[in-house]
Amino acid sequence: MNFLFLCTGNSCRSILSEAIFNARAQEGFIACSAGNKPTAKVHPLTLKILQNLGVSTQGLSQ
């Protein structure tokens, strides 16, 4: 089953949701994220939070 997380810039909230969901979801569940006005860059604090939680940031992009 696929899930899509949306927010305006796709630089923080939707990225956090995608990464945490994918790190903890059961097999067969996959999340992606998007924004209606993407900023073209993941916010640095987003990456820091995910790293502190032990969640992979590999492949995250806008």
pLDDT at res. 58 = 87
At the top level of CATH, which class does the domain 2-53 belong to?
alpha beta
Question: Each residue's pLDDT tens digit in the chain (62 positions)?
Answer: 999 999 999 999 999 999 999 999 999 999 999 999 998 889 999 999 999 999 999 888 65
pLDDT number for residue 62: 56
Query: Are the beta carbons of 60 and 23 closer than 8 angstroms?
Result: no
Q: Are strands 30-35 and 2-7 parallel, antiparallel or unpaired?
A: parallel
